[in-house]
Amino acid sequence: MARSWTRRDFLRGTGAAALSLGLAQLELACGSNEPPPTSATPTAGPPTPVQQALPQLPAYRTWEDLYRNQWTWDAVARGTHTMTNCVGACAWNLYVKDGMVWREEQKSTYEASAPGLPDFNPRGCQKGACGSNLMYSPSRIRYPMKRAGERGEGRWQRITWDEALESVASGIVDALEKEGPASILCELGPNIGAGPNSAAPFRFFRMLGAPATDSMAQVGDLATGATITLGNPHPCGSSDDWWRSSYLVLWAFNPSATRIPDAHFLYEARYKGAQLVAICPDLNNSAIHADLWINLRPGTDAALALGAAQVILAENLHNADYITEQTDLPLLVRTDTNRFVRQSDLQKGGSDKAFYVWDSVRNQASPAAGSGSSSTLDAGAVKPALEYSGSMTIEGKPVRVRTVFSLLKERLDRDYTPEKAAEITGVSAGLIRQFARGFAKAPAALILSQWGQCKFLHADLAQRAQILLASLTGNLGRAGGGWRSGGFFAPEGFALLSMQEQLGLVDLAGFAAKNYMDPEKTRAFFSQYFVPGSIWHQVHGGLSDVSGDLSQGDRSVPRSPKEYLREALENKWFPVQPTPGKAPHVILSIYGNVLRHVRNNTRLTQTLWPKVKLTVDVNFRMNETGRHADILLPAAYWYEKSDLKYLVSFVPYVHLGDRAVPPIGEAKPEWEIFALLSAAVAREAKKRSLAPYKDIGDLERDARRLDEAFTDRGRFGPTDEEKALEFVLSYSTTTKNVSLADLRQAGAVRFKSTGAPGGTAGYYSDYSEHEPLVPHRWFTEKKQPWPTLTGRQQFYIDHPWFLECGEAMPVYKPPPAAGGNYPLVLSGGHTRWSIHSQWRDQMPMLRLQRGEPVVYMNDQDAAQRGIADHDVVRVHNDLGQFLLRAKIARYVQPGQVFVYHAWEPYQFRGGRSDHSIIPSPFKPTSLVGGYGHLRWGWSHWEPNQVDRDTRVEVEKA
């Protein structure tokens, strides 16, 4: 009787084929009764070692049977890759055979947003296409383990779940007893979803009353220039709206490598006549498809944008009505203090949040629409002047005032003519003019600038200058136009499951309507138990010893960044828990890999890890952080649990990642892990008679009843993952009237709404299921004030720190020599072959590249140093060195070298990665607080970790 096949049999069989084992030999190995081989086929001799190792495969008659058997399955489930930060979401069918997912196939479930538009089909990327390889890879963690040697030594002992949970619970209760909940940190990475398994750690830490890190800036992804200018760092829309643009600018954005499921909209737009412009130093995977490639010098993006803005104003190509209504350009600024004219300047007890324009009809200062008590941008009978310079009586004396527009224009004409911008950027003045005119004259021009740009020290200045271009031309709020990064929508049910203790509250609907739907209250609600991850590691990881040193960053600022940091913390502009000086006792890492992604990462293992009594990694795979953990808790893979993919703006669909098979080994879904852990903590706390305590939000908590709080008094037990998922669906407007059964049928369902407007959504438009998503229409069409201090797109920031650092307006500042005075700039980018580190060690992906870390070098730079392709080289600067192979690549500019994202340190020779020599300086201006929209908030405002300005030398090792 033929035995049934397992995936292992199949892989071994096909692996043998790859070793040139002929079909005739396979037949012999299977004991086939087929006719003997002809003289043209190899003669069967004694079995080879490979043949001996082969399993007994089923008898078959011809090669077609082998092929047909290969394409059979027992069941098909709907799946996606829920807890990977790919900023995509794609519907897949998962084919299950003998209890294993053996292949996946894209599911073309999407419809066009409107007739005549391209649809989203098919979605996927090559990582997702080999998701089942990752699932069954050798780096998978199958059992709870505790370390048997020193941290990072790599010696492990398998333990039971009870032992693991008791150890972690004991560590947590120790910390509660000795230092309180602030000493227990959830190190929350970016690989989160939007269902119960992602809500689980949020809920656990919320009920414990302990902090979790906000990782947005910690991984270098916070678009601070958009926070400064637009009041939200996530301006977003759907990718089918790209197709409606006539002038598409990929600014430090390489979608063919990093936005694979969406890139087709750009290239389809070219077929209808759109111009595609790529602005990047390297001829990358997307630039090769562009009509215009502007290869500026690295880090000079702000100068290019300001040069183009100068052309637009000088040639009168700007949209004066738009910027008068929507921006702060007509606001009046005092030339004695360089601060806005405020009501508090003119009236005793007046507001410091009410601003003024110059009414050119009445020839007098007039309150600016959208600020102070005004709730509309409609100026009515007032005609604000864009250009004005004159005198006003302020505090009893004459003071010269000017509009922001006048100041900006003067600065552009003085410092950023195309000729001057050409000297900085290396881009010819003629090309800058061509770009500016093309952008300004296009019916709809769109700058796509995503998270790569954020990783420069002066990214905020570049982003402010890019947004200025989009605004001067009236593109923000227009279909196919504007400046966009990307955003995530928040299903309300997910937020409630994550944060709300008593889920059965009778006024739940009222809560959602009254509180959750208000963006400000939502942000405050979310932010309460988060700590700014980047700043947390500056303080507790000791990173600021290097990154806060003036020599590493912008030397033009008057004080060292470390001093600004101290002052910002003293002012309580950013919460850090535990407070500086106290040590964290427990770190529980989930959905991330902090010891890989933090810049200057070796410092964390040297400074932070020795202070921490217990480190735990909850993960499905072994990574750098897991290697240094004390306890590993094995999480189920994405095909082994039911969850939702996060709701990303590019594709307005809710995606189900369903449980196709049971978890491998003893892995468990996160919902179950944290439910069991809450019970273990409760038991331990009861054993020690731990008294109730005040949590970091000053609420009273009782760890003896943590399990009751987590499960909502038993409503959602450890194995109630599906029930919790149904809760998320039923309490979210995004999935109104969509059940789990519906999602299981379709795989992905179009949003019914964009959910709560707060959180990380930077959408600010009404949503329709029948058109692409275009952000900012509430401001341009409904005349609502922007969420900034002035109620307008704000290009002028008059906070004293911005003024003293010379950054009140968008300006160009040269990149720092971070890491020392070395001739090459170390840059990078997200890789095409992995999502962060999750696929970095996967053979199907390694086969598409060199198979190990490489540094890309221009051929001239390599020749000057006597380096040949594939040589092992030493990359070094003042912070240290790392070793890897060189790849000679002419598409990289001379003077620049690239190490693409997310190799694990253990994949490098010597175990030190590129991140070990990246000092990641930070900006004083990003530490400002208490200034309208510039204040700490989850995923809203703090200094980024940055890497693109690092200087190095490379030599043959």
> 270 φ, ψ to 5°?
-65, -30
Query: CA-CA distance, 290 to 287, in Å (whole number)?
Result: 5
| Residue 127 found at the interface with ligand SF4 (CB under 6 A) | yes
| Residue 657 found at the interface with ligand SF4 (CB under 6 A) | no
Q: Which stretch binds ligand SF4 (CB under 6 A): 122-130, 446-454, 664-672, 772-780?
A: 122-130
Which residues from 248-277 bind ligand SF4, rule CB under 6 A? Answer: 261
Query: Cβ 452 to ligand SF4, closest distance in Å?
Result: 17
Query: Cβ 887 to ligand SF4, closest distance in Å?
Result: 24
Q: Let me know: does 111 contact 97? Beta carbons within 8 Å.
A: no
**DSSP state, residue 331:** B
Q: Helices (H), strands (E): how many in the chain?
A: 35, 34
Q: Which stretch binds ligand SF4 (CB under 6 A): 87-95, 286-294, 419-427, 589-597?
A: 87-95
Question: Which residue's Cβ has the minimum distance to ligand SF4?
Answer: 128
Q: Which stretch binds ligand SF4 (CB under 6 A): 85-93, 135-143, 414-422, 764-772?
A: 85-93
Please choose, from the candidates 474, 458, 477, the residue with its C-alpha nearest in 3D space to the C-alpha of residue 329: 474
Query: CA-CA distance, 546 to 824, in Å (whole number)?
Result: 20
Q: Produce one character per residue of 852-877: b if its CB has 16 or more CB atoms within 10 Å, e if not.
A: ebbbbbbeebbeebebeeebebbbbb
Which residues from 136-165 bind ligand SF4, rule CB under 6 A? Answer: none
| Residue 424 found at the interface with ligand SF4 (CB under 6 A) | no
The set of residues, in sequence order, having a beta carbon less than 8 Å from that of 39 and lying 6+ positions away, is none
- Rank residues 82 and 600 by Cβ distance to ligand SF4 and give the closer one: 82
Query: Cβ 261 to ligand SF4, closest distance in Å?
Result: 5
| Residue 81 found at the interface with ligand SF4 (CB under 6 A) | yes
Query: Cβ 38 to ligand SF4, closest distance in Å?
Result: 45
Coil, helix or strand at residue 762: strand
Query: Cβ 660 to ligand SF4, closest distance in Å?
Result: 14
Among 84, 238, 285, 534, contact with ligand SF4 (rule: CB under 6 A)? 84
| Residue 327 found at the interface with ligand SF4 (CB under 6 A) | no
- Is residue 55 packed enough to be buried (19+ CB in 10 Å), middle (13-18) or exposed (0-12)? middle
- Rank residues 77 and 90 by Cβ distance to ligand SF4 and give the closer one: 90
Q: Which stretch binds ligand SF4 (CB under 6 A): 56-64, 86-94, 171-179, 681-689?
A: 86-94
- Is residue 689 packed enough to be buried (19+ CB in 10 Å), middle (13-18) or exposed (0-12)? exposed
> What x-and-dash track marks residues 159-198 binding ligand SF4 by CB under 6 A?
----------------------------------------
Structure tokens at 194: 């939007």
- Rank residues 123 and 540 by Cβ distance to ligand SF4 and give the closer one: 123
Among 217, 503, 835, 917, contact with ligand SF4 (rule: CB under 6 A)? 835
> What x-and-dash track marks residues 61-80 binding ligand SF4 by CB under 6 A?
-------------------x
> 752 φ, ψ to 5°?
-95, -20
Structure tokens at 778: 């509430």
Q: Let me know: does 461 contact 813? Beta carbons within 8 Å.
A: yes
Query: Cβ 358 to ligand SF4, closest distance in Å?
Result: 50
* Secondary element (H or E) of residue 859: helix 859-864
Among 13, 124, 652, 717, contact with ligand SF4 (rule: CB under 6 A)? 124
Q: Produce one character per residue of 352-365: b if its CB has 16 or more CB atoms within 10 Å, e if not.
A: ebbbbbbbbeeeeb
- Rank residues 84 and 538 by Cβ distance to ligand SF4 and give the closer one: 84
Query: Cβ 732 to ligand SF4, closest distance in Å?
Result: 20
- Rank residues 87 and 675 by Cβ distance to ligand SF4 and give the closer one: 87
Q: Which stretch binds ligand SF4 (CB under 6 A): 69-77, 121-129, 245-253, 904-912?
A: 121-129
Q: Dump the DSSP string for 788-802.
A: STTSSB------HHH
Among 30, 100, 117, 128, contact with ligand SF4 (rule: CB under 6 A)? 128
- Rank residues 85 and 547 by Cβ distance to ligand SF4 and give the closer one: 85
**DSSP state, residue 513:** I
Among 125, 207, 287, 305, contact with ligand SF4 (rule: CB under 6 A)? 125
Separation in Å, CA 816 to CA 214, 551, 602, 813, 947: 26, 9, 22, 9, 11
- Rank residues 655 and 923 by Cβ distance to ligand SF4 and give the closer one: 655
- Rank residues 91 and 454 by Cβ distance to ligand SF4 and give the closer one: 91
Among 29, 30, 83, 89, contact with ligand SF4 (rule: CB under 6 A)? 89
Query: Cβ 630 to ligand SF4, closest distance in Å?
Result: 30
Which residues from 901-920 bind ligand SF4, rule CB under 6 A? Answer: none
| Residue 86 found at the interface with ligand SF4 (CB under 6 A) | yes
The set of residues, in sequence order, having a beta carbon less than 8 Å from that of 602 and lying 6+ positions away, is 880, 912, 916
Residues binding ligand SF4: number (CB under 6 A): 14
Query: Cβ 257 to ligand SF4, closest distance in Å?
Result: 12
Query: CA-CA distance, 827 to 856, in Å (whole number)?
Result: 10
Q: Produce one character per residue of 818-831: b if its CB has 16 or more CB atoms within 10 Å, e if not.
A: bbbebebbbbbbbb
The sign of the dihedral angle between the CA atoms of 899, 902, 907, 913 is positive
Q: Let me know: does 130 contact 844? Beta carbons within 8 Å.
A: yes
| Residue 90 found at the interface with ligand SF4 (CB under 6 A) | yes
Q: Produce one character per residue of 326-339: b if its CB has 16 or more CB atoms within 10 Å, e if not.
A: bbbbbbbbbeeeeb
Residue ranges that bind ligand SF4, judged by CB under 6 A:
80-81, 84, 86, 88-90, 123-125, 127-128, 261, 835
